[in-house]
Amino acid sequence: MAWELGVLTGLADAGVDLVAADLFVGTSAGSVVAAQVTSGVPLAELYDLQLAPPRSEVAARIGVRTLAGWGLAMLRTRDGRSFRRRVGRAALAARTMPEAERRAVIASRLRADAWPAARLLVTAVDTATGEFEVFDRDAGVDLLDAVGASCAVPGVWPPVTIDGRRFMDGGMRSPTNADLARGARRIVVIAPTSTGGGAFGRLSDEVAALRRTGQVVVVRPDRAARRAIGRNVLDPARRAPAARAGRAQAAAVAAAVAEIWNS
């Protein structure tokens, strides 16, 4: 989250206003960022919040057992939906904080309680069926629940209940789900993680398909940003350095993004 907001702020410093986009696709942490930047709250204010001490945040880690479970599920099937069903079963069985407590954490991050006027797509996965779900303002789902579902890392955070169904992180289908932007003419993918393959969608495949009809640029963390983020992407203590690293990195990618965005 913090790195993404840093990148967006740095690009705005360079005259590249991605907040003016027609479409936002949010997956996992990206769903929080997309909901924040479309809320009407100034980007500079959202960035400054990343520099404040994370008093309301709960430290977490994707443990070895969780990663091993994902790996085992992938070895047993390369079919994406079957893989997600296996992970979903583990997510439902995992011991996590109560769902209501996690919902309060997500609420403290969002700066709005209603879907924005801009088109926002929030991704999630049904834990029981492995079905990929895309929520928008016409889905009849509360924005807070949609974002909470997209951020529900299986084995770490509790699945989110929506209309009797339990949903987990949309990143279990693809790290970015960038393919949802198909048909757009100018696309900027801000991808803090982009590893794919096997049961996960590959960003490279998604970008190749998007380039058939539009221009695409991908921004990933550089070496300094990866160092600032650290090995544990769920550590709130890394938020301020990650935000600063994202803002600094934006200067190096601004020309490439502007070539597409401002053309």
Any idea which residues carry the catalytic annotation?
28, 169
Q: What is the rounded distance in angstroms from the CA atom of residue 40 to the CA atom of residue 57?
A: 23
